Amino acid sequence: MKKIKRFLIYLFLSIAAIVSIFPFLWMLISMTNKSVDVTGGRLIPGSHFLENLRNLFATVEIGTALMNSFIIAIITTILTLLIGSLAGYGFEIYRTKGKDMIFNILLLSMMIPFAAIMIPLYRFFGQVSSVAPAIGIDTLAAAILPTIITAFFIFFFRQNTKMFAKDLVEAGRIDGLSELGIFFRIYLPTMKTTYAAAAIIAFMNSWNNYLWPLVVLQSPENQTIPLLISNLGAGYTPDYGVIMTAIVIATLPTALVFFLMQRHFVAGMMGSVKG
């Protein structure tokens, strides 16, 4: 009886693992096969990877899209971390009743669905276009700006600041550091793990963001990777080998980030729910 139960547990977990991994295997295999072989259900690696790669670069501007996605994700990550940690630190270290109230109001913004503010944002950046075209519709700046300040990261940094030794702030004051000096010279270096976890989440969110870039970025030279893949996937005569190559390239950065920093990633997810 007990043996049957163990067997069933392993069987169940193995099926779950196979179902979870299979799409990854399939895209890796299909990346090396011809389009007809992909649709034909071929499940062994072929020798068409270089050709797929060449076709991918020849048919779509994937270099540009990669560049745009990296620029957006890196700038977004840096600004998100900087602004979010300043606020999380500020709310916790300079805590007052008034600030706590503001903090709670900011948290409410986490419940605002993006679809609800998408149209006003689109119209807002449309108006910005006529004054400052450099940050208006169809610019990377417009894709970045509304995404860098989120209540989630303020909350995240405030939660983690609770574990930061406040004596260090006093020590910094006695040493004659300015309040901002304390933040940059003491807080920032001691909170490296928190920043690492936040960086992973921010980078992944930005790299994978789809709806807002879809709305605000219109010209092909401003396309990001998710937009490019979506367009490729919606084509009438798709070259499956090429599309799979593009998908693997799109998944690579986030998968790498995940595997290199798996521990921080889990810590980061948990940091967002800790009391």
Partner 1 sequence: MSQTARSAGNSNQQRTFMTRLKKNYIGWIFILLSVLGIGLFYFYPMVQAFLLSLRSGMGANLEFVGFDNYVRLFSDPTFITSLTNTFIYLLVQVPVMILLALFFSVLLNDPKLKFRGFFRTAIFLPAVTSLVAYAVIFKYLFGNDGLVNEFLLGMNLISTPLNWLSDPVLAKITIIIAITWRWTGYNMIFYLSALQNVDKSMYEAARIDGASSIQQFFFITIPLLKPIILFTSIVSTIGTLQLFDEVMNITNGGPGNATMSISMYIYNLSFEYTPDFGYAATVSYVIVVLVVILSFLQFRVAGDRD
Residue closer to partner 1 (CB basis): 21 or 171:
21
Q: How far is the CB of 7 from partner 1 (least distance, A)?
A: 12
Our CB check for partner 1 shows the closer of 36 and 134 to be 36
In angstroms, what is the minimal distance from the CB of 3 to partner 1?
Answer: 14
**CB of residue 217 vs partner 1: minimum separation in angstroms?**
12
Torsion, Cα of 123, 124, 130, 132 (10° steps):
-150
Q: Please name the amino acid found at residue 202.
A: A
**Residue 115 Cβ vs partner 1, minimum distance, rounded to whole Å:** 4
Beta carbon nearer to partner 1, 56 or 154: 154
d(CA 118, CA 207): 19
Nearest to partner 1 of 99, 185 (CB atom): 99
Cα–Cα distance, 126 to 134 (Å, whole number) = 12
d(CA 109, CA 87) in angstroms, rounded, equals: 15
**CB-facing half-sphere around the CA of 237: CA atoms within 13 A:** 1
Shorter beta-carbon distance to partner 1: residue 50 or 114:
114
Tell the smallest beta-carbon distance from residue 106 to partner 1 (Å).
Answer: 5
